[in-house]
Amino acid sequence: MRRIFTSVAPTIVTGVAGAFVLVSFLVPSLIVLRAPLIGVAAIIAGVAVMMGFAHLLYVHIRRLRSGTGAIYSLMLILSASAALVILLIDRYTTQQLFTHFIFQHIIVSTQTAFGALLAVFLMLAALRMLMRRRGAVAAWFLVAGLVVLVTQVPVVVDGPVGSVLTAVRQVFDAIATAGMRGLLLGVALGTLATAFRVLFFIDRPQSE
């Protein structure tokens, strides 16, 4: 009986839902089949977020009790709880000012500052790589980086130097586009193979 719920039913539900979605993509007139499934997926995703939030609080309450990184956990619990309460209250206001404030002045600004660090981190990582791994990959990385820097800098250069830069840029653009297409082709085939295995019950990530 237990196996029906943990193995058979999830496999059948996945197969049927997958087949519906696939058919709706192939036959555009059957797109109406997809709408109820999207509704179900949205509800499941919403429940998952609630469970994830509870999980996050539980982990940090445990950390608070054990004393490891207690101050950070306390801050996280307080800020997460405050944000939840504020966002819930804000749903009943017309302009949702608090929500906008939290996103614009806390989340977006923090993310922007953090994103700006990435360039510095990347440069440091590249330097460390050149010092530690002096191989073909490091040499290629260095050459590619230098060529991109020289050719993509938005400076207008006239005359023969400008023509050479444009030619080099075009060559590297072609190489980059070809590489990107090759990469995407591999990913698309991998995606197709994974979807195929799930649809035909070869892989059952959702059941025992």
Partner 1 sequence: MIGLPGLIGLVALAVFGVAQFFLIGTISAGRRPRFRPIPLFTTLRGMLGRSIESGRELHVSIGTGSIAGEDMATTLAGLQIVEYLADEAAASGVAPAITTADAAALILAEDTLRRPYIRQGSLESYPPLSARLPALEPTQYAAATMDYLSHGHVLANVMSGVFGVEAGLMARAADKDALPQFGGAADPRALAVLLPTADNLLVGEEMFAAKAYLQARPPHLASLRAQDIARWAIVAGTIVLFIIGLLSQAGQL
Q: What is the smallest separation between the CB atom of 48 and partner 1, expressed in angstroms?
A: 4
Which one-letter DSSP state was computed for residue 203? -
Q: Measuring CA to CA, how many Å separate 136 from each of 141, 143, 145, 203?
A: 8, 10, 14, 38
Q: Which is nearer to partner 1, 93 or 194 (CB)?
A: 194
Q: Which is nearer to partner 1, 9 or 51 (CB)?
A: 51
Q: What is the smallest separation between the CB atom of 32 and partner 1, expressed in angstroms?
A: 15
Q: Which is nearer to partner 1, 119 or 153 (CB)?
A: 119
Q: Measuring CA to CA, how many Å separate 181 from each of 34, 167, 170, 188, 193?
A: 30, 21, 16, 10, 18
Which residues are at the interface with partner 1 (CB under 8 A)? 22, 25-29, 41, 44-45, 48-53, 55-56, 59, 62, 69, 72, 107, 110-111, 114-115, 117-118, 121-122, 124-126, 128-129, 137, 141, 180, 183-187, 189-198, 200, 202-203, 205-206, 208
Q: What is the smallest separation between the CB atom of 160 and partner 1, expressed in angstroms?
A: 30
Q: What is the smallest separation between the CB atom of 9 and partner 1, expressed in angstroms?
A: 14
Q: If you write DSSP's letter for every residue of 33-78 in order, what string do you get?
A: GHHHHHHHHHHHHHHHHHHHHHHHHHHHHHHHHHTTTHHHHHHHHH
Q: Which is nearer to partner 1, 61 or 157 (CB)?
A: 61
Q: What is the C-alpha separation between 148 and 7, in angstroms, rounded?
A: 52
Q: Which is nearer to partner 1, 163 or 206 (CB)?
A: 206
Q: What is the smallest separation between the CB atom of 51 and partner 1, expressed in angstroms?
A: 6
Q: What is the C-alpha separation between 178 and 70, in angstroms, rounded?
A: 50
